[in-house]
Amino acid sequence: MDPLNVIYWIKMVLGVLTAVICMILKVNNILSGAMLSISIYLISDRILRQIFIAKVSKPSDVTRTGITIYISSWIFFWALLYTLYPY
């Protein structure tokens, strides 16, 4: 499997896990949720860069790959979970 595909799927799963973390911490403010999401993304990006730096052509590909699916899955699943299990 291509390393960029692996990064893409990892970031999608991280978006879902970030939504679950937002629910566990009972974050109901969009600003707090966004800050939590950004911090998780930056930490995971640093880890993924260390793992995949030798397998991709440019290091910036690791950061750019999957950012849209991360944000989309985080917002979608956070809204879904918040609708199903309101605080």
> What would the pLDDT profile of 38-71 be if each residue is shown by its tens digit?
999 999 999 999 999 999 988 889 999 999 999 9
Spatial separation of the C-alpha atoms in residues 6 and 75, rounded to whole Å: 21
Looking at the structure of the chain, the number of domains it has is 1
Tokens read off for 57: 């052509």
Q: Is residue 65 part of a domain?
A: yes
Spatial separation of the C-alpha atoms in residues 44 and 85, rounded to whole Å: 27
For the cut 80, the answer to whether the pLDDT of residue 21 exceeds it is: yes
pLDDT at 26: 94
Q: Band of the pLDDT at 2, cuts 50, 70, 90?
A: very high
Q: Is residue 13 part of a domain?
A: yes
Read off the pLDDT of each residue in 17-39 and give the average, rounded to a whole number: 96
Q: Is residue 74 part of a domain?
A: yes
Write out the residue range of the structural domain in which residue 21 sits.
Answer: 3-82
Q: Is residue 87 part of a domain?
A: no
> 29: phi > 0 → left, psi -120 to 50 → alpha, else beta; which?
beta
pLDDT at 87: 76
70 near 12, Cβ under 8 Å? yes
pTM: 0.91
Q: Is residue 31 part of a domain?
A: yes
